Amino acid sequence: MAAAQGRLSDGADGMDDTKEGDRDGSGTAPPAFLAAVQALRGSRLRPQIEVESTRAPQRLAPFAYALEATVVDGDQDLADGRLVLLHDPDGHEAWRGAFRLVTLVRAELEPEMAADPLLPEVCWSWLTGALSARGLSYGEPSGTVTRASSHYFGGLAERPAASQIEIRASWTPREGLGGVPDTAAHLASWCDLLAQVAGLPPAGPGDASVVTLPQRRDPQSR
Q: Is 90 exceeded by the pLDDT of residue 35?
A: yes
Name the burial class of residue 216, with classes exposed (0-12), middle (13-18) and buried (19+) by CB atoms within 10 angstroms of its CB: buried
pTM for the whole structure: 0.77
**Which of 124-128, 153-157, 190-194 is least confident?**
153-157
Residue 158 pLDDT: 87
Q: Is 50 exceeded by the pLDDT of residue 209?
A: no
- 133-174 confidence digits (pLDDT tens): 999 999 999 999 988 878 788 888 888 877 888 999 999 999
- 85-123 confidence digits (pLDDT tens): 999 999 888 999 999 999 999 998 876 776 777 888 989
31/6 Cα distance (integer angstroms): 21
**Which of 10-14, 39-43, 119-123 is least confident?**
10-14
Residue 181 gets which letter from DSSP?
A: B
